Structures are given as C-alpha cells and as structure tokens.
Amino acid sequence: MHPVLATILKRLGLGVATLFVVSAIIFSSISLLPGDFGEAVLGQAATTETVAAFRKELGLDKPAPVRYLDWVSSVLKGDFGTSFSGRAASGVDRSRSVAELIAPRLKNTLFLAGVTAIIAVPLALLIGLTAALYRNSLYDRGVNALTLTTISMPEFFVAYILILLLSSLWPVFPSLANVDASTEFGERLRRIALPAITLTLVIVAHMMRMTRAAIINLLASPYIEMALLKGASRSEVILKHALPNAWAPIATVIAFNLAYLVVGVVVVEVVFVYPGIGQLMVDSVTARDTPVVQACALIFASTYIVLNLIADVIGIVTNPRLLHPR
C-alpha cells in the first residue's frame, strides 16, 4: 500500500475513534448539567411521583450507559432523537425531531461562516504574504500591531464596538441579525454584515500571523538562500519556492480557523441574536432540552474533527517524502 494512502487511512481511523470518545464526553458533560427537564416543565409544585412518571415517559429514568448506547445507535442511523421542548405535563406531545429543529439553524450558521470565509481567507493570506515579503517594514509593524489588538479583544467586545459604531452612532447596518427563510439574499447579507465583520476581524488576525510566521520560517531555509544567490527576486522566491512548501502549515491554519467559524460562532450569534445553531444550543441548554444540546455539540465536534482531518490530508499529500518514497 502506498505510504500516502496508508497514512490517510490511519488518520481517518483515528478521527472516527476520536469522535466516539468526544461523543462519550459530550453525553457525560450534559448529564452533569444542573437541573432537570421534568422539574423545569412541571414546576416546583409537582409531586415526586409526577416527576418520576414524566421522566419515565422521556426515557430519563434509564441508567446513563443505556441511554448513551441508545443515543449513539440512533445517531449512527441518522436519527438525533426528538426534542423535549414540545412535551408538556398534560400529556400532549407537540415535540419535533431534533434534525427538523437543527436543519434551518445549521444552514444559517453555514451561510454566515461561508460569507466570512470568502472574505477572511484570501484577505488573511494576502496580508500574511505581503507582511512576510516586507518584513520589519512600517507596513509589517502596523499590520502586526493591528492584528495583536484584534486578537487581544474578546469576540463579544468587538461585536459591541461594531454595534456602537456602525449601528448606533452611524446607522449603516442593523444591530440584530434576525433572518428567516423568507429573507432575500441581499437583505440577508445586509443583516449579517456586523457578525460577519466581527468574525472576519478575528479570523484574519489569527490566520495572517500564522501565514506570516510560516513564510518567514521557510525563508531561512538553505534552498531559499540558494534561490536568492541565483538572482531570484524576493517575490519570485516566495511565490515559486516558499509558498508551495508552506501549504501544509497554511492549510492547518485555515482548517483551524474554519472550524472556529462553525464551532466558535456561538458567542457572536448570541450577541446579534442570529438564528444559528449556536443560538439554538444556548437556548436548549437553558430549557434543559438534552437531545438538542447533544446533537449541536456532536455537530460542532464532528466539524472540528473533519476539518482537521482535511488539513492533515493536505499536509500529507503535499509532503514530497511521502509522495516519492525511496
């Protein structure tokens, strides 16, 4: 078997094993959350017998290992379960499937992440390359200072600053990103402008600094010095010699930041009341809606693992030692 294929299969196997471990951690962590859905719905005046009967109806009376195995087996079949939010003490069941609740929210989150990635990734790579090309110049120092300032600020603080500047003092964009299925594409872009700008500022800062560091590290290699001695310009050295060898670390940085766009978007969605999966997860934690919380957390973990696997595969494929084994 070719070393590249063998390494990729090993990484895929490791990713699947990691996902199972993460699923166990997610289930255990959610089980340790304070409060109970039955008590939250029935209220403090409910008797112990009523709460016990309601928990039995929901399947919460089963031991934790049994509930975990039931959940994992259902997820493997594509069934995330049924939300608790539609159940009532009267016995009337208006609950909806978890997949039905998550699907539109996930589309909104992916739309926000996609718009941000389209802007942030090319911009960060361009700034990182130019900063490495003009290292220690006034431009490089200014970019580093700006990115350090952005990185040091929490996302919610950047969001509130943008709301103050671009929504209150200068009402350019709306402060709330309240979109729905009927919102037109142009209007949707206008409403998500502030959350997209917030995420872009953070993503560009991280990605630009890592790209710059990767290029500068490669510029100290002997083959780069040889190319310079042969008379190649700095731009030619970076584009033809350094950049092709920097794809592996750059791909890793891009994968990490794209994972952040989906996983770390929770705070931004809550600030701007954006109807994404992060907002849904926060609301479900408050309502003790365990199946929805578990599904959201599993989607976040799966996204992070898959994007890191893609980065690993890109790093393996771009490694000449694996592509041309002796």
Mean pLDDT per 10-residue segment, the chain (326 residues): 74 85 85 68 69 74 83 86 65 69 89 90 88 85 88 86 90 86 87 91 86 80 80 75 73 78 81 88 82 87 83 71 57
What's the token pair of residue 128?
Answer: 């990182």
pLDDT at 90: 46
pLDDT at 197: 92
Among 105, 20, 63, 133, CA closest to 282? 105
Q: Name the 3-class secondary structure at 325.
A: coil
Rounded-to-10 torsion of CA 238, 133, 256, 144 = 170
> Please, how many CA atoms are within 13 Å of residue 178, restricted to the half-sphere of its CB?
3
What's the token pair of residue 305?
Answer: 């693992």
Cβ atoms of 272 and 176 within 8 Å: the answer is yes
pLDDT at 261: 79
Instruction: Say what angle helices 138-152 and 98-133 make with each other, to 10 degrees.
Output: 150
Give Cα separations from 38 to 54, 59, 60, 167 (angstroms): 6, 11, 9, 41
* DSSP type of residue 87: B
Instruction: Say what angle helices 193-219 and 243-263 make with each other, to 10 degrees.
Output: 150
pLDDT at 219: 75
Among 86, 95, 119, 129, CA closest to 219? 129
What's the token pair of residue 32?
Answer: 């340790």
All domains of the chain in start order, with CATH: 3-76 (no CATH), 99-308 (1.10.3720.10)
